[in-house]
Amino acid sequence: METKLSTHRLDALFLRDKNLVDDVIGKMSFTDAMFYHIVGTPPTRGQTAVLDAVLVTLMEHGLTPSAISTRLTYLSAPEAMQSAIAAGLLNVGSQFIGTMENTATLLAKIHSDPEGVEASCQQLAQQHKDAGKYMPGFGHHLHRPDDPRSPKLFAIAKAHEDIDQRPIKTIKALGAAVDKIYGKHLTINATGATAAVLMGAGIPARIMRGFAVISRAAGLVAHVMEEQETPTGRAIWDIVDNGIPYTGKANSKS
Domain borders along the chain are 1-43, 100-205
pLDDT at 229: 97
The residues, any chain, with a CB within 8 Å of residue 135's CB and separated by 6 or more, are 124, 125, 128, 174, 178, 182, 186
Let me know: does 32 contact 42? Beta carbons within 8 Å: yes
Residue 138 is classified by DSSP as B
Nearest to 209 by CA among 132, 103, 82, 66: 103
Query: What pLDDT is stored for residue 99 in this prediction?
Result: 80
- Return d(Cα 14, Cα 125) in angstroms, integer: 47
Confidence (pLDDT) at 207 = 94
**Amino acid identity at 119:** A
> Is residue 12 within a helix (H) or strand (E), and if so which, with residue range?
strand 12-15
Q: Which among 101, 93, 90 has a CA at the least distance from the CA of 203? A: 101
pLDDT at residue 251 tops 80 = no
CATH ID of 100-205, from 1.10.1740.10, 1.10.8.100, 1.10.230.10, 1.10.3720.10: 1.10.230.10
Question: Can you tell me whether residue 127 is helix, strand or coil?
Answer: helix
Distances (CA, A) of 113 to 59, 88, 119, 129: 34, 37, 9, 19
Report the DSSP beta bridge partners of residue 138: 188
Task: Indicate the SS3 state at residue 157.
Answer: helix
**From the CB of residue 174, how many other CB atoms can be counted at a distance below 10 Å?**
28
pLDDT in tens, 80-123: 999 999 999 999 876 667 688 899 999 999 999 999 999 999 99
pLDDT tens-digit map of 178-214: 999 999 999 999 999 999 999 999 999 999 999 999 9
